[in-house]
Chains A and B, each alone.
Chain A
Amino acid sequence: MPVASIGPYQFESRDKVSNFHGNQLTYLHWEEHNMYCAALAYPLPPTMPFRAIVENLLPEAYGYHPEWAKVKWDQVTWMLDGRPFIPNLDASLAENGLGHKSVVRFWTPGLHGIGGTAT
């Protein structure tokens, strides 16, 4: 549906990927741990290996949580942009199918937040 307007009305996306200096936006979210109030936003190079998310970004962000140390990585389930997903740790974000503003959600079986409250 077009905008009701008094003249031609067309704009570029303010967040198009070319505005991010070679990076693309990626959102990461640890499910059932809403002490972190929302998914985390990162500008990342598409050539970065997925492993850097698991080994650097996530521990830095979530390490404060008492359940973080208990995560069993071989049991983690992933979702990319609404579809089940198995990351290849050594492949790049782009090769793993992550695009600009992709959402990566992950579940850690057995860990349901502080007191089981999804905190």
Chain B
Amino acid sequence: MSIADKSTAKPRKLGLKERYAHLTRGLGWETTYQPMSKVFPFTDYEGIKIHDWDKWQDPFRLTMDSYWKFQAEKERKLYAVIDSFAQNNGHLNITDARYVNAIKLFLTGVSPLEYSAHRGYAHVGRHFVGAGPRIACQMQAIDELRHAQTQIHTISHYNKFFDGLHDARHMHDHVWYLSVPKSFFEDACSAGPFEFLTAISFSFEYVLTSLLFVPFMSGAAYNGDMATVTFGFSAQSDEARHMTLGLEIIKFMLEQDEGNVPIVQRWIDKWFWRGYRLLTIVAMMMDYMLPKRVMSWAEAWEIYFEQGGGALFEDLSRYGIRMPKYHEVASKEKGRLSHEVWATFYNYTQATAFHTWIPEKDELDWLSAKYPETFDQLYRPRFEYWKEQSDQGKRFYNNVLPQLCVTCQIPMIFTEPDDPKTICFRSTLYKGERYHFCSDGCKDIFLYEPEKYIQSWLPVHQIYQGNCGGATVPEVLNWYHMSLGNDNMDYQGSPDETLWNEWTADRHKSAI
């Protein structure tokens, strides 16, 4: 272009489509100073073959400037609601203080995962060769950081009034039950970029997300928690993008090379099972922690996995992909999962930063009605016995630490797929040492990559090795940054309960 040309040519504004094309195609190039394999060192080692990165179908066409505009608008709305929630003492409008225990679990267990997701997507957003997937991952990295922030801001209001919310970040990295979500995400982040997207974008955000998001947000709405509803809605439009990214990465890998199919299938099997195990806390929340219930875990599983997931995998079968291995075990467990898990936290509430309790009679009746084949037969007598004992001042606590599954790190509480009365024990020998698993799903994951899981940081074993502040409960709780007698133990008699009753005394009076 000559100087004369430049002076006469009018700068032309690019259309949205063109800008998007430049952003996701034009900005990528074949490097010449360094070989591509050195600039993008993580794209080959997982065995996934990509022949043409330009075949990537962008799941959403968002330029950076419109992204900022949308997000800023959402933030303005969100923080306006959060401010008014705080000014109007919104926490007093929830159904019951027991509800806040679900929020405690969310803030310590899930919000730090949003931050981990931010890091994970920032990493893969650097390492894909194609500019399209890089941009999608970079945007998601920013979304996830935003989710972590909005959740912390929202919940900080609850921290002023309830126990157990004061040190979520520290707890996430130390507390025994939080090693379950933590290790889940670390497993994904320490995998390659393709497995990471299969794990988080596809298996978690696409296949299982409705089981986390819908119950949590409708649970919040049902129970008067407008703050959580608001961050939920604010995240929802981001999630829609994340889900499409999940489906797109799967289709892209499957369409690029037939050799990718078995690798992708194995990842789907693995991450379905890991994600499903992670959702046990959601099952428990739905059936036990919401004073006003939305639907049962079994119903949610039927609607969102058996029906919704079934249709998805039928669609993917044309690529040679089948349903995730052990999905039928998950379905067999749907009548027991939440009860087994709530009973577990009831066993060990002396070491949790939230409270547990025996459901009220009408709540037990709800469970009997929702679980006609299992609740009265297996679990109701247990809770009634515990209630009886607790009424006599002999509240049950399990004083010995439980055996943990090496893969999912959950105590080995799950029962045999075909026998709900017998605990499921699975084990293997690797280099002469025994390893134990809660299920065939967790055992398979270990057997495929044992060198990874022999490094599992299992909280019970860490305590016994002397790495957690000491050998007594107070020492370990101190190391967890839990406040003994405030954060832990039964809801009955807790400071949360006492304060809540004081705050709502007027409500009760006027009700009479």
Contacts and interface: CB of A to CB of B under 8 A. Distances in A.
Nearest to A31: B422
Interface in B366-402: 377-379, 381-382, 385-386, 394, 396, 398-402
Nearest to B434: A101
A48 B466 CA distance: 20
Interface in A19-47: 19-21, 23, 25, 27, 29, 31-32, 34-43
11 contacts: A25-B461, A32-B421, A35-B396, A38-B412, A39-B412, A39-B425, A41-B464, A101-B436, A115-B381, A117-B421, A118-B421
Nearest to B398: A36
Interface in A28-75: 29, 31-32, 34-43, 60-61, 64, 66
Interface of B: 41-42, 45-47, 191-192, 195, 340, 343-344, 347, 377-379, 381-382, 385-386, 394, 396, 398-404, 411-413, 415, 421-423, 425, 427, 431, 433-436, 447-449, 451-452, 454-458, 460-461, 464-466
Contacts of A81: 427, 434
User: Contact size class for A?
Assistant: 35 or more
A35 B435 CA distance: 24
A39 B402 contact: yes
Contact of A39 (B45, B403, B433): B403
A99 interface: yes
Nearest to B466: A21
Main SS of the interface on chain A? loop
B361 to A, nearest CB: 18
A36 B382 contact: no
B461 A38 contact: no
A60 B400 CA distance: 9
Contact of A100 (B377, B433, B455): B433
Given A42-B400, A117-B379, 17 more contacts: A14-B455, A14-B456, A16-B433, A17-B433, A20-B464, A32-B422, A34-B423, A37-B413, A38-B344, A39-B403, A39-B423, A40-B400, A41-B460, A66-B385, A82-B425, A103-B425, A119-B379
A115 B451 CA distance: 44
B402 A4 contact: no
A66 B379 CA distance: 17
Main SS of the interface on chain B? mixed
A14 B449 contact: no
Contact of A13 (B41, B45, B448, B454): B454
A27 B381 CA distance: 26
B76 to A, nearest CB: 43
Nearest to B48: A4
A25 B454 CA distance: 15
Contacts of A61: 398-400
A96 interface: no
Contacts of A103: 403, 425, 427, 436
B41 A6 contact: yes
Contacts of B195: 4
A88 B469 CA distance: 36
A71 B150 CA distance: 55
Nearest to A10: B451
Nearest to A36: B398
A5 B195 CA distance: 12
Contact of B344 (A5, A6, A37, A115): A37
Interface in A93-119: 99-103, 105, 113-115, 117-119
